[in-house]
C-alpha cells in the first residue's frame, strides 16, 4: 500500500496518467476525485470491515479503490476504460484483495458476476463515484436485478441524487424515484463540491446511501409495474385516469372499477402517487388483465 502515489494530489494523478499515456476522457465522465478526506468519508459511510465483499464501479485512477484496499475489503473494481483498467491492475498488484475487471457496467449480469467473484452467501456492498452520463441507465440495471446488494454508497450529480429520493408532490418526483423507492430506501448523506474533482465538472455532487427494501409485488406483477410507472410518467401533467387509459386501452371498460378498487381518485396526477399506491394499482390492473 505504501507504494501507491498520493491520489489526492492533482499533480501526482496527472503524472500517473501521463506515465501510462492516458488523459481524462470526457465521454466516459472521467472527473477524478482528488480529495482524500472525501474518499475516506465515502468509504467510512460504507462501513467496510476486513474481508467484506465490495464492488466498486468506475474506479478511475483509484482514489476510492485505495481507501477500500486499505480497509481490507475483498474488492472487485469494474472499469470500462482499457487504459485505466491496465493501469489499476499494475498499481494494485501489491494488494491481493483487489481485483480489476474491465467491463462496461451496463452490460453486467449481476447475479452471474456476484456468484463468480464472491462466496455464495456473501453480502455484497457497492461503492461508486458514478459517471454522470450513465447514472440513470445504471440504476435501472440494478433495479432490474432486484438490487442484489446489502448496501450501496453512491456519488451522483446532485440533481440525480435528489431525484432518486424525491417524494410525491416534489417537482423532480418521477419514474426513476418510484422505481428507486420500490427497490431501495435511500438517504442523501452529504453534498460534495465540484472543486474536489479534476478535471472540475460543472455541477456539484451528492453521496447517497441505498439499502434494499422488501418487495410488495410478486415477480409476475413486476413487469407490469415497470410498464405502468414508466408509461404514466410520459405524460406527468395529465391525470392518472387518462394516462391509464392511454397505456391500457384494452381495459377501457374496467377503468372506473380499477380506480375505485384502489381507492385512488381518477383526477390525481402520477406525480402525487406514492410507491405503495403504484404497487396497489399494478396489482389490481394485473388481476383485471387475467
Q: Which residues bind ligand SAM (CB under 6 A)?
A: 28-33, 57-60, 63-64, 78-81, 84, 104-106, 129, 131, 134
Name the residue nearer to ligand SAM (CB basis): 46 or 232: 46
- Rounded to whole angstroms, the Cα distance separating 53 from 114 reads 9
Residue closest to ligand SAM when measured from CB atoms? 58
Label the pairing between strands 98-102 and 184-192: unpaired
Name the residue nearer to ligand SAM (CB basis): 10 or 231: 10
Minimal distance, residue 105 CB to ligand SAM, in Å:
4
Minimal distance, residue 97 CB to ligand SAM, in Å:
17
- Rounded to whole angstroms, the Cα distance separating 76 from 169 reads 39
Name the residue nearer to ligand SAM (CB basis): 156 or 173: 156
Minimal distance, residue 145 CB to ligand SAM, in Å:
15
Establish whether the linkage from the previous residue to 164 is cis, with ω within 30° of 0. Answer: no
State how far Cα 194 lies from the chain centre: 20
Minimal distance, residue 287 CB to ligand SAM, in Å:
39
Minimal distance, residue 201 CB to ligand SAM, in Å:
8
Name the residue nearer to ligand SAM (CB basis): 91 or 284: 91
Neighbour-count burial of 137, counting CB atoms closer than 10 A to its CB (0-12 exposed, 13-18 middle, 19+ buried): exposed
- Rounded to whole angstroms, the Cα distance separating 251 from 259 reads 12
- Rounded to whole angstroms, the Cα distance separating 112 from 271 reads 35
- Rounded to whole angstroms, the Cα distance separating 26 from 189 reads 27
Name the residue nearer to ligand SAM (CB basis): 129 or 282: 129
Amino acid at each position: 500500500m505504501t507504494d501507491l502515489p498520493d491520489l489526492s494530489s492533482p499533480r501526482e494523478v496527472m503524472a500517473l496518467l501521463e506515465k501510462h499515456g492516458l488523459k481524462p476522457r470526457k465521454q466516459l465522465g472521467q472527473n477524478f476525485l482528488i480529495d482524500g478526506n472525501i474518499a475516506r468519508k465515502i468509504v467510512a459511510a460504507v462501513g467496510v470491515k476486513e474481508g467484506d465483499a465490495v464492488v466498486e464501479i468506475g474506479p478511475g485512477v483509484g482514489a476510492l479503490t485505495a481507501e477500500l484496499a486499505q480497509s481490507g475489503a475483498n474488492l472487485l473494481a469494474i472499469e470500462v476504460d482499457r487504459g485505466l483498467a491496465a493501469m489499476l491492475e499494475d498499481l494494485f498488484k501489491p494488494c491481493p484483495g483487489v481485483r480489476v475487471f474491465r467491463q462496461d457496467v451496463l452490460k453486467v449480469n449481476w447475479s452471474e458476476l456476484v456468484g463468480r467473484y464472491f462466496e455464495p452467501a456473501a453480502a455484497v456492498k457497492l461503492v461508486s463515484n458514478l459517471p454522470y452520463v450513465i447514472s440513470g441507465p445504471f440504476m435501472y440495471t440494478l433495479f432490474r436485478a432486484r438490487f442484489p446488494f446489502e448496501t450501496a454508497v453512491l456519488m451522483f450529480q446532485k440533481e440525480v441524487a435528489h431525484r432518486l429520493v424525491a417524494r410525491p408532490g416534489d417537482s423532480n418526483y418521477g419514474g426513476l424515484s418510484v422505481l428507486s423507492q420500490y427497490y431501495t430506501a435511500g438517504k442523501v448523506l452529504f453534498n460534495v463540491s465540484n472543486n474536489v474533482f479534476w478535471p472540475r465538472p460543472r455541477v456539484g455532487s451528492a453521496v447517497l446511501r441505498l439499502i434494499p427494501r422488501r418487495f410488495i409485488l410478486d415477480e409476475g406483477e413486476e413487469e407490469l409495474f415497470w410498464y405502468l410507472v414508466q408509461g404514466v410518467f410520459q405524460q406527468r401533467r395529465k391525470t392518472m385516469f387518462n394516462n391509464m387509459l392511454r397505456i391500457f386501452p384494452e381495459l377501457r371498460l374496467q377503468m372506473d372499477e380499477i380506480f375505485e378498487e384502489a381507492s385512488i381518485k381518477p383526477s390525481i396526477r402520477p406525480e402525487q402517487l406514492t410507491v405503495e399506491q403504484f404497487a396497489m394499482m399494478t396489482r389490481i390492473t394485473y388481476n383485471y388483465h387475467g
